[in-house]
Amino acid sequence: MNDTTYTIRIRPGNPADAPAVLDMLDAAVVWMNDRGNTEQWGTMPYSRRPGGVARVEGYLTENAPFIAELNGAPVGALVLDSGPSPRMPIAPAGEPERYVRLLVSDRQHAGRGIGAALLAHAGEETRRAGVELLRVDCWAGGGGELVAFYERNGFTPTERFLSGEWPGQVLARRVD
């Protein structure tokens, strides 16, 4: 496969994907830190944070996880749930929803549309479930790049929030 042709395949995730997801999260922390962003996820590798491994294992057993693959290798992960994390100061939508609890891609494959493909898949899964609302929350600090990423993928900002000192933004997208 050359660098300009590739196919992203999305499959259901399972507990065996935990090491790959943790590797992606650890690499994302390094990538952010290398760009001066130490506020979003801190500086400690995700796999060494208290509760980090258990959280990822829970995502892969208690929620609806999906893994993006290139040539059979995991390069992205998305986790859907029926609402926001109870740890976040976000109210339920007041209607059935699907909520993106985790979205991460392998930074070695940045720019290949992995995150966008996973979000498109989340929209399809939401529609397939007969639900019309897909929401996500993200870090709203820095220059707002992450919020802009979600906006480019069809989401509209709804409410801002603070989780301690961490500035967050909820975004929503209607699927029909």
**What's residue 5's pLDDT?**
57
**What's residue 144's pLDDT?**
86
Q: Is 17 within the bounds of a domain?
A: yes
3-state secondary structure of 139: strand
Report the alpha-carbon distance of residue 73 to residue 67 in Å, rounded. 9
**What's residue 3's pLDDT?**
47
Q: Is 169 within the bounds of a domain?
A: no
Report the alpha-carbon distance of residue 63 to residue 118 in Å, rounded. 15
Q: Is 161 within the bounds of a domain?
A: no
| Lookup result for tokens 């976000």 | 90
**CATH number of residue 34's parent domain:** 3.40.630.30
Report the alpha-carbon distance of residue 1 to residue 34 in Å, rounded. 29
- Ranges of residues in the chain with a pLDDT under 50 are 1-4
**What's residue 44's pLDDT?**
86
3-state secondary structure of 167: strand
Q: Is 30 within the bounds of a domain?
A: yes
Q: Is 153 within the bounds of a domain?
A: no
Based on the structure, what is the number of domains in the chain?
1
pTM, two decimals, is 0.90
The whole domain housing 49 covers 8-131
Q: Is 39 within the bounds of a domain?
A: yes
Q: Is 75 within the bounds of a domain?
A: yes
Q: In what order do the strands lie in the sheet with 98-105?
A: 8-12, 64-70, 73-81, 98-105, 133-139, 166-174, 156-163
